[in-house]
């Protein structure tokens, strides 16, 4: 069985989002965020984008690989089948003590590109998290953004900065010809074999041959730590296989 790690490329919308719109006082003044919505929205994917700044935390729990055709990006592999995140249970709870990627924690907020290339804060109205009543208003009685919206704006701004830095890192990997096609094999509960393809990893042999000047530049940018974290994350394939086996045995 051959699976693809990359999120499905058929939709022009970002992963998880179905109806993102700009956050607007006239539209959302009486709207709230649903209390404790959980992470059920992420249950039908097996990979989630991560930034380089997250690599050190991510590599403790998930393999980090590079996915995508036109725009390659690093992703944390959270499942062994294309439509299954084995880190989220039927109640939408994430695996206890496991790192939750910022891309997941950002939802339902997102930056939307407006006219002139300006980025504005958006929210997904299609995920069932924006509701008509609750304890987390999007705006106060005076029509000003609530703490929820202000915090989301700060979080998305930080995420965007990390995203740009990661894109620069990926371009450097491509220019150095370090990314190679790779496959991962997994056996579930001793009976089911899965083969995952459609992603790339850093070739360690090529990486070790980089010139000293390049390594110094990468060290100064923090890219050496990111690369080592990526390489060390491969140990987590076994953990995913174990989690998949536990889920398969569960009633």
The answer as to whether 251 is a domain residue is: no
Residue 134 is predicted with a pLDDT of 93
Q: b vs e for 90-129, b when ≥16 Cβ sit within 10 Å of the residue's Cβ?
A: eeeebbeeebbbbbbebbbbbbbeeeeeeeebbbbbbbeb
Indicate whether 249 belongs to any domain.
no
Confidence at residue 3, expressed as pLDDT on a 0 to 100 scale: 46
pLDDT at 250: 67
Q: What is the pLDDT of residue 11?
A: 56
248: in domain: no
| 19 against 184, higher pLDDT | 19
pLDDT by residue (tens digit) across 133-170?
A: 999 999 999 999 999 999 999 999 999 999 999 999 99
Q: For residues 194 and 76, which has the higher predicted lDDT (pLDDT)? A: 76
- Domain with 207, as residue range(s), is 2-243
Q: What is the mean pLDDT of residues 127-136?
A: 94
Spell out a b/e string for 133-148, using b for 16 or more CB atoms within 10 Å of the CB, else e.
eeebbbbeeeeebbeb
Q: Is the pLDDT of residue 6 over 50?
A: no
Query: pLDDT digits over 83-117, tens only?
Result: 999 999 999 999 999 999 999 999 999 999 988 88
Percent residues over pLDDT 90 in the chain: 78
Q: Is 48 a domain residue?
A: yes
- Residue 250 in domain: no
- Asked whether residue 17 is assigned to any structural domain, the reply reads yes
Is 113 domain-assigned?
Answer: yes
Q: In the structure, what pLDDT confidence band is assigned to residue 12 with cuts at 50, 70 and 90?
A: confident
Does 2 have pLDDT greater than 50?
A: no
8 vs 99, which has greater pLDDT?
99
C-alpha closest to that of 73 among 159, 158, 6: 6
Q: State the pLDDT at residue 8.
A: 40
Higher pLDDT: 187 or 202? It is: 202
Mean pLDDT estimate for the chain: 91
Q: How many domains does the chain have?
A: 1
Contact 58, 219 (CB under 8 A): no
Query: What pLDDT does residue 194 have?
Result: 81
In this structure, of 62-76, 170-184, 186-200, the range with the lowest mean pLDDT score is 186-200
Residue 9 confidence (pLDDT): 42
CA distance 40 to 91: 7
Task: Kindly state whether residue 73 falls inside one of the protein's structural domains.
Answer: yes
């Amino acid at each position: 069985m051959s699976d693809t790690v990359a999120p499905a490329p058929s939709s022009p919308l970002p992963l998880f989002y179905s109806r993102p719109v700009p956050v607007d006082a006239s539209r959302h003044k009486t709207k709230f965020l649903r209390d404790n919505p959980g992470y059920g929205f992420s249950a039908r994917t097996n990979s989630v984008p991560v930034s380089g700044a997250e690599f050190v935390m991510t590599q403790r729990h998930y393999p980090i690989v590079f996915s995508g055709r036109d725009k390659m990006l690093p992703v944390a592999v959270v499942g062994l089948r294309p439509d299954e995140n084995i880190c989220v249970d039927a109640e939408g709870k994430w695996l206890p003590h496991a790192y939750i990627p910022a891309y997941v924690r950002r939802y339902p907020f997102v930056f939307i590109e407006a006219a002139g290339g300006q980025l504005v804060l958006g929210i997904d109205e299609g995920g069932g998290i924006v509701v008509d009543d609750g304890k987390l208003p999007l705006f106060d009685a005076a029509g000003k953004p609530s703490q929820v919206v202000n915090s989301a704006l700060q979080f998305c701004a930080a995420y965007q900065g990390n995203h740009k830095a990661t894109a620069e890192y990926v371009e450097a990997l491509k220019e150095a010809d370090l990314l190679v096609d790779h496959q991962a094999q997994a056996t579930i509960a001793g009976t089911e074999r899965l083969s995952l393809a459609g992603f790339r990893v850093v070739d360690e042999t090529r990486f070790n041959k980089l010139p000293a000047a390049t390594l110094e530049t990468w060290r100064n940018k923090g890219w050496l730590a990111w690369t080592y974290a990526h390489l060390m994350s491969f140990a987590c394939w076994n953990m995913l296989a174990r989690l998949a086996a536990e889920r398969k045995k569960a009633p």
